[in-house]
Amino acid sequence: MNLFSDTWDFLTDPANWQGPGGMLELLVQQLLLSLTALALAVLVGLPLALWLGHVGRGGFLAINISNVGRAIPTFALLAILVTADFPGTQEFGPYGRAGLATLIALTLFALPPIITNGYVAIREVPDDVKQSAVGMGMTAAQRFFRVELPLGLPLIMSGVRLALVQVWATATIAAMVAGPGLGRVITDGFFRSDYPKGIAGAIVVAIVALVLELLTAGLQRGVDPTRRGTVRRADARTEQPVGS
């Protein structure tokens, strides 16, 4: 039981949290990285996916990008980006060592769930609803913003949530290739056979992951327009798990 008490001691020692390289700093760094990458992916991927879904084209690409993303190990892509001449391990603003490489990898892995779910969300709005909107004389833009977007929102949000899970996981793995973030506590602990440290890092990473998941679940429930209706969709969250 030594391992458990040592882990607890590591977690409760303020010295491990404070100062440069402390867990608090690494936590903020990883959150910053994850949210930046998520924002970039939403900015790039979501308009594209929603447009494809609206016009009903590019479905093959939008669906299969998730399958491709799943097959590529995040660790391998990070390793290649860091070892390459560019972006390599150079510092990048507040994102720390190998910041640019990490940011690129995170954004790339956030895109598939956002694009696939965004496309499916708009595409799967029932045809009779779309036809009613046409019958009411709505223009294409009105149909998109007043009908398709609100009805597709829960599924779009679940795509963003999956992307966040993915991004957080990949940001952790970045430490295995000398990247920034909390994963460094884990890899450092294992590298020096200081297992209590490694486990402590893992606990912090896992707790933050669960907190993010719960927060976004609440957010998703908040934006669901059919939530209070009598007709509920059987399962608004068509799960499309990606590797983490």
Partner 1 sequence: MRVTLLVQAATEPNCYSRLTNEWICGQYVVDRKDEIVDATVEHILITVAAVALGVLIAFPLALIARRYPRLESGILGVSTGIYTIPSLALFPLLLPFTGLSPTTVVAGLALYALTILVRSMLEGFRAVPDEVRESAAGLGYGATRMLFRVELPLALPVIMAGLRVATVSTVALTTVGSLVSYGGLGNLIKDGVETNFRAELFTAAVLCVALAVVLDVIVVLTQRAMTPWTRGATT
**Site residues (vs partner 1, CB under 8 A):** 3-4, 67, 70-77, 79-80, 82-83, 165, 168-170, 172-173, 175-178, 183, 186-187, 189-190, 195, 198-199, 201-203, 205-206, 209-210, 212-213, 239, 241-244
SS3 41: helix
Measured from the CB of residue 197, what is the shortest distance to partner 1 in angstroms? 10
Give the nearer residue to partner 1 in terms of CB position, either 30 or 148. 30
DSSP 236: S
Tokens of 138: 């709505």
Give the nearer residue to partner 1 in terms of CB position, either 126 or 241. 241
What count of residues does the chain have? 244
Give the nearer residue to partner 1 in terms of CB position, either 138 or 178. 178
Q: Are 180 and 102 in contact (CB under 8 A)?
A: yes
SS3 letters across 57-75: CCHHHHHHHHHHHHHCCHH
What single-letter amino acid sits at 37?
A
Give the nearer residue to partner 1 in terms of CB position, either 138 or 244. 244
Measured from the CB of residue 205, what is the shortest distance to partner 1 in angstroms? 4
Measured from the CB of residue 169, what is the shortest distance to partner 1 in angstroms? 4
Give the nearer residue to partner 1 in terms of CB position, either 36 or 216. 216
Measured from the CB of residue 4, what is the shortest distance to partner 1 in angstroms? 7
Measured from the CB of residue 54, what is the shortest distance to partner 1 in angstroms? 27
**115, HSE (Cβ side, Cα atoms, 13 Å):** 25
SS3 126: coil
d(C-alpha 108, C-alpha 131), whole Å: 36
